[in-house]
């Protein structure tokens, strides 16, 4: 029997500028949810938010929190720097081209040489998920005392990706491609690390990237995002990956797998979501994949009041519309209503960990950095 006081007292919370989070262990024996909040990363004007809902242990969700998000952040900074340098170089060339060679000073001629030498192909290429597998496993006990040296692992991401490949002709960054590449690359490394310790844990991934008035949402699994637009409507930001969906059911069958129903639909009678990070026994046969769906939203069109990101512990007890209505009524409460919504979900009988993140608009945090995450088991 669950001790309700213990279930509610074991919590994580963050109350920042226009972003807040509240999470509880709930009726589960351990907390397997993880989250990341990073606003105005390195003064780039780009912000990241993520929810990872682990299953079968903490390993995959913790990996995603630390390694995936670190690599994603580094890639964004790298590409943003490249774009800024390219933009500056273009502006400099316009100025220089408006002058005749005879009018150029020695200093200006030196600048021209430097600018012409600066091309994307001369930059050192970076590969996705370049974070070390060693750091993930150095404190992990090998259950079979295997004497394998993790340093012998080859880089599973054999394709070297030049950062310039993420720059579009219109002068924008292809954030959708970055999100997809980093999620898949991180999953490959996670699978290799998990095999060494026979850790079969998996995790969902819900990652939101905000740049200016554009919102990118990458989703793997059944954590979910919902937007409250200016009219108060609930706008889905992601769609759950479930085994019974036609495209997922077809994909699983073509891979030689099956789905079965025992209260809920499951892949091979095991997993209730058809996409996830980790889960290497199911991943090897491609019954489960980590390919994210990425949706893009124009915030100037929707003019949102707020956004809710949450693990399925919430969505097991609340519809999108109910969650939006709840936060609308409690947006002025502590944690922008995230605490109230989390506890109400528990009171409705949620059996899972519950994590709720609320982002209030307009985002005054766009000019100030806030960084917080939880990748450990302590409260």
Record the pTM: 0.83
Locus of tokens 């989703």: 219
Largest CA distance in the chain: 86
Which DSSP state fits 354? E
339-360 tens-digit pLDDT? 999 999 999 999 999 999 999 9
Assess contact for 203 and 60: CB atoms under 8 A. Answer: yes
Which DSSP state fits 317? T
What is the chain's Cα-based Rg?
23
Q: How confident is residue 268, by pLDDT bands cut at 50, 70 and 90?
A: very high
Rounded to 5°, angle at Cα 122 from 40 and 47: 10
Tell me which of 146 and 319 has the higher pLDDT: 319
Tokens coding 155? 């880089």
* Alpha-carbon separation of residue 40 from 43, 125, 209, 334 (angstroms): 5, 25, 11, 23
Tokens coding 231? 């009219």
Question: 63, 166, 185: which is closest to 123 by C-alpha?
Answer: 166
Q: How confident is residue 152, by pLDDT bands cut at 50, 70 and 90?
A: very low
Phi, psi of 19 (to 5 degrees): -145, 135
pLDDT at 162: 82
| Alpha carbons 194 and 376: distance in angstroms, whole number | 18
| Alpha carbons 292 and 187: distance in angstroms, whole number | 11
199-232 tens-digit pLDDT? 999 999 999 999 999 999 999 999 999 999 999 9
Question: 351, 333, 379, 344: which is closest to 20 by C-alpha?
Answer: 333
322-343 tens-digit pLDDT? 999 999 999 999 999 999 999 9
Tokens coding 310? 């949450």
Mean pLDDT, rounded, for 145-169:
57
Three-state secondary-structure class, residue 51: strand
* Alpha-carbon separation of residue 166 from 82, 178, 181, 213 (angstroms): 10, 7, 10, 19
Locus of tokens 């079968």: 56
Helices (H), 257-298: 280-283
Locus of tokens 């990241």: 48
13-72 tens-digit pLDDT? 998 889 999 999 999 999 999 999 999 999 889 999 999 999 999 999 999 999 999 999
Q: Measured in Å, how far apart are the chain's first and last C-alpha atoms?
A: 21
Domains of the chain (ranges, CATH numbers): 4-374 (3.60.40.10)
| Alpha carbons 302 and 231: distance in angstroms, whole number | 9
Residue 61 neighbours by CB distance under 10 Å: 31
């Amino acid at each position: 029997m669950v001790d309700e006081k213990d279930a509610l007292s074991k919590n994580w919370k963050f109350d920042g500028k226009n972003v807040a989070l509240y999470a509880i262990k709930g009726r589960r024996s351990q907390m397997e949810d993880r989250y990341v909040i990073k606003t105005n990363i390195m003064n780039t004007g780009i912000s990241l938010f993520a929810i990872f809902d682990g299953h079968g242990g903490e390993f995959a969700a913790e990996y995603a929190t630390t390694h995936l998000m670190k690599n994603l952040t580094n890639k964004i900074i790298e590409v943003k720097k490249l774009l800024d340098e390219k933009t500056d170089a273009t502006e400099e060339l316009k100025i220089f081209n408006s002058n005749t060679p005879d009018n150029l000073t020695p200093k200006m001629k030196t600048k021209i040489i430097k600018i012409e030498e600066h091309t994307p192909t001369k930059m050192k290429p970076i590969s996705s998920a370049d974070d070390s597998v060693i750091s993930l496993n150095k404190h992990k006990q090998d259950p079979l005392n295997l004497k394998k040296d993790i340093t012998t692992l080859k880089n599973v991401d054999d394709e070297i990706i030049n950062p310039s490949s993420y720059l579009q002709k219109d002068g924008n960054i292809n954030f959708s491609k970055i999100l997809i590449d980093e999620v898949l690359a991180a999953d490959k490394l996670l699978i290799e690390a998990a095999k060494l310790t026979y850790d079969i844990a998996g995790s969902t991934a819900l990652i939101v990237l905000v740049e200016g008035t554009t919102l990118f949402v990458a989703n793997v699994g059944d954590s979910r995002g919902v937007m409250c637009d200016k009219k108060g409507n609930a706008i889905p930001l992601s769609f759950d990956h479930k085994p019974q969906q036609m495209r997922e059911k077809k994909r699983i069958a073509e891979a030689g797998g099956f789905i079965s129903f025992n209260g809920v639909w499951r892949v091979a009678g095991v997993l209730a979501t058809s996409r996830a990070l980790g889960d290497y026994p199911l991943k090897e046969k491609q019954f489960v994949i980590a390919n994210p769906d990425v949706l893009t939203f124009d915030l100037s069109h929707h003019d949102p009041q707020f956004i809710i990101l949450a693990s399925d512990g919430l969505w097991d007890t609340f519809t999108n519309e109910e969650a939006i209505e709840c936060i609308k009524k409690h947006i002025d409460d502590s944690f922008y209503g995230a605490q109230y919504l989390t506890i109400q979900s528990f009171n409705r009988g949620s059996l899972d960990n519950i994590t709720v993140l609320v982002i209030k608009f307009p985002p005054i945090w766009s000019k100030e950095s806030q960084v917080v995450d939880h990748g450990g088991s302590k409260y």
